[in-house]
Amino acid sequence: MKSAKNSGAPESPAACSLRPSSPGKSTLVEPGESSWTDAKPGYVGRFAPSPTGTLHFGSLLSALASFLDARAHHGRWLLRMEDLDPSREPAGAAQQILETLDAFALHWDGDVLYQSDRLTEYHNSLTFLNDQNMTYGCDCSRQRSRSNEGVYDNLCRNRASPPIDDFAIRLRLPDTNIQFEDRIQGIYQQNLPSQCGDVVLRRRDGLIAYQLAVVVDDAWQGVTDVVRGYDLIDSTPRQIALQQILGYQTPRYAHIPVACNAMGQKLSKQHFAKALEPSSSRVYLREALRFLGQDLSGNPQTETPQSLLQRAIERWDIQRVPKLANIPVGHQLG
Ligand SMILES: [Zn+2]
């Protein structure tokens, strides 16, 4: 059990290495890091699974769409393992994900980035935000935080006496609308105070929250294009707000429909989504291309995963992806 970090206060005198950088210029690359961060191609995409179980058809869709979009742009496709919650990560799951991607010929560029190796950077960001008076401690119960349809009412923002211990750290989001143009779904807008509420950066149990880690890592890896599931679209405005506060560039976003089962539930481990079978990779890839609205020509009898993907790259058209939040799939897939 990892001990909770003790406080959001800047108790450590360690110099903060994180400063808002001039737009387009990353100041966060440490000397001696792997060479791919030095490259400045026009397109950098990524796939960022959490190793909470084996890959299923839903995760394949995100992997495939982000892969095809990157390769069609002659860009790089990075792999990031979002392994910040050991209690949810069975031993060997990360390795199994890598092997499955390999079996599907979804080959990534450079080294895999493990978020569990990045805790210092996240804590530097927290220290920076705290120094800017952009954070506060919150010990509201989970039930309370979620009672208003999941929108936190910022109760602890202006408390006279901040919580002493056992609290989450929240970011003071600006009282504003954030709007962006999704490459698939079109204009998406959210009012941060009424539709989001101040976002948790460090959880009450001490773990770094997804929203902070994803923003810090997308910037550090130079990601220009995020292609991911529609279930994350409502996280995007708060991520854009955090990018702006930290002085990062905002990537382009494309949110693909989420695959759901006959009950309308997103395919996931909780809903017992079937693990991908590497021996049937061609079948899954063709089904994933069909789901994404792509050209399915080609001979299923003679193609290999490689040849199938090569043709899919050449014919990739993101405008053919259905502008939908979710699409049901048959039980053989889910
Ligand atoms: Zn609170």
pLDDT digits (tens, 9 = 90+) for 132-169: 999 999 999 888 877 788 899 999 999 889 898 899 99
Query: Helix 236-246 to helix 210-220 angle, to the nearest 10 degrees?
Result: 60
Q: Measured in angstroms, how far is the CA atom of residue 39 from the centroid of ligand 1?
A: 42
Q: Which two tokens stand for residue 3?
A: 């001990």
The CATH number linked to 121 is: 3.40.50.620
pLDDT digits (tens, 9 = 90+) for 44-100: 999 999 999 999 999 999 999 999 999 999 999 999 999 999 999 999 999 999 999
Check pLDDT > 80 for residue 109.
yes
Residue 15 domain-assigned? Answer: no
Count of CB atoms situated within 10 Å of the CB of 146: 13
Residue 100 domain-assigned? Answer: yes
Q: What's the CA gap between 264 and 149, in Å, rounded?
A: 19
If you average pLDDT over residues 226-243, what whole number do you get? 97
Q: Which of 285, 180, 299 is nearest to 241 (CA)?
A: 180
Q: Measured in angstroms, how far is the CA atom of residue 125 from the centroid of ligand 1?
A: 21
Residue 75 domain-assigned? Answer: yes
Contacts of 248 (CB under 8 A, 6+ apart): 21, 215, 218, 219
If you average pLDDT over residues 237-260, what whole number do you get? 97
Residue 278 domain-assigned? Answer: yes
Give the residue, 142 or 192, on which the prediction is more confident. Answer: 192
Q: Measured in angstroms, how far is the CA atom of residue 116 from the centroid of ligand 1?
A: 27
Residue 176 domain-assigned? Answer: yes
Q: Measured in angstroms, how far is the CA atom of residue 76 from the centroid of ligand 1?
A: 41
Q: Measured in angstroms, how far is the CA atom of residue 2 from the centroid of ligand 1?
A: 23
**Angstrom distances, CA of residue 242 to CA of 100, 113, 153, 282:** 33, 21, 18, 39
Residue 80 domain-assigned? Answer: yes
Q: Measured in angstroms, how far is the CA atom of residue 242 from the centroid of ligand 1?
A: 19
Check pLDDT > 70 for residue 280.
yes
Ion ligand 1 neighbours, Cβ < 5 Å = 138, 140, 155-156
Q: 0.95 cut: is pTM over it?
A: no
Check pLDDT > 70 for residue 5.
no
Question: Which structural domain range is residue 69 located in?
Answer: 41-328
Residue 36 domain-assigned? Answer: no
**Count of structural domains within the chain:** 1
Q: Measured in angstroms, how far is the CA atom of residue 21 from the centroid of ligand 1?
A: 31
Residue 24 domain-assigned? Answer: no
Q: Measured in angstroms, how far is the CA atom of residue 136 from the centroid of ligand 1?
A: 9
